[in-house]
Amino acid sequence: MKNILVIGSGAMGAAFTIPCIDNYHKVTLCEPYNRELVKKILSKKKIHPNLKLNLPKKLIVKNFSKEILKKKWDLIVIAVSSIGIDLVKEKLKQLKNKCHILVLTKGLKYEKNSKRIITMSEQLDNGNNKLNLSVLKGPCLASELARKIKTSVVIANKNIKTAKSIGKLISTDYYKIDYSNDVRGVEICSAIKNIYSIIIGAGEGLNTSSSIFSKSISEMVYLTKFFNGKEKTVYGLAGLGDLYVSALGGRNSRMGKYLGKGFTYKKAKKKFMPNDTIEGAQLSFEIAPYILKKINNKKIPLMVDLLKAISKNKKLNIRW
């Protein structure tokens, strides 16, 4: 039995605790900033409001506190949104004992000082005394993992042995783990697929969307290599696999549908999805200043069209 701490009690963080508990670990799910969510979970016999199912009885649920990081953990899992990464970074400075840290959060950040794009693990590691970081990405809908529908993801670490040691802790007959040493490529793919999911969702029909899907993969290859990732990663779980799941349905592709009908992003968000987080749109705002100026736009026309439409709140016009 190992002690596992999951920081972030949203749908994915909560769902991730289930295979951990099925492997007989002692698991604590904590929330660093949304106290109301913790109250909702505890007030309804651990029924998660987003997953709409009972979390395991053995799961410990609490608000984050300074005392938590003073305990000895075998694995700490980061499952907050990309917006919450900076907060978690500061919290991790209180960590007393070194342990494996697994990052579920997907996203990229434009670092204005250095004028470069950094990944979530790089953002956490910056100034944090070289934390022992691994990342987990891939086609995983939280609602399906929580219901133990067969799921495959990839854990990336430059040291494959480290990745495999974490995989042994969390893998089950319904939660399969692949491994990669292409940490940057895995993180780049898992982030930009949200943008391409919006573009695919904007297709007029299946014929159009399938063509856009194919062109999206080509652009993902170019971008992943540009950011020093490996081409083969694009064709794996973090790239093509995750893009497939996101393009079939979900918030990003649903937003794409409205953009494809001629709505601007702000109007579509307000009218149809006011309470939804659109990861692809958040990422577009974050990286548009860099992508539009620093990368050959002729190589990534789909990405450029989407970034301009969202960042400038104009109607989407796909040059496909």
Q: Which amino acid is at 97?
A: N
Least reliable range by pLDDT among 15-19, 40-44, 226-230, 253-257: 40-44
- pLDDT for res 128: 62
Report the relative pairing of strands 116-119 and 108-111 from DSSP bridges: antiparallel
Per-residue pLDDT, averaged over 116-140, amounts to 89
The whole-angstrom separation of Cα 203 and Cα 225 is: 26
| 150 has catalytic annotation | no
How high is the pLDDT of residue 129? Answer: 61
CATH top-level class of 190-311: mainly alpha
- 30-44, 91-105, 116-130, 300-314, range with greatest mean pLDDT: 300-314
Question: Does residue 177 or residue 125 have the better pLDDT?
Answer: 177
How far out from the chain centre does Cα 134 lie?
A: 13
Beta-carbon contacts of residue 105 (< 8 Å; ≥ 6 apart) = 8, 78, 79, 80, 81, 82, 84, 85, 120
Contact 302, 199 (CB under 8 A): yes
What percentage of the chain reaches a pLDDT higher than 90? 84
* Residue among 193, 215, 230, 269 flagged as catalytic: 193
Query: Residue ranges per domain, the chain?
Result: 3-181, 190-311
The whole-number pLDDT of residue 263 equals: 97
Helix residue ranges, H only, the chain = 11-22, 35-43, 85-92, 120-125, 142-146, 160-170, 183-201, 206-226, 231-234, 242-248, 251-260, 265-272, 279-294, 301-311
pLDDT of residue 127: 64
> Is 70 exceeded by the pLDDT of residue 29?
yes
pLDDT above 90: residue 43: no
| Percent over 70 (pLDDT), the chain | 98
Are residues 191 and 108 in contact, defined by beta-carbon separation less than 8 angstroms? Answer: yes
Q: In the chain, what are the helix, strand and coil shares in percent, each to the nearest 5?
A: 50, 15, 35
Average pLDDT for the chain: 94
Report DSSP letters for 73-87, one per residue.
-SEEEE-S-GGGHHH
- The CATH number of the domain covering residues in 3-181: 3.40.50.720
Instruction: Please tell me the predicted confidence (pLDDT) of residue 165.
Output: 97
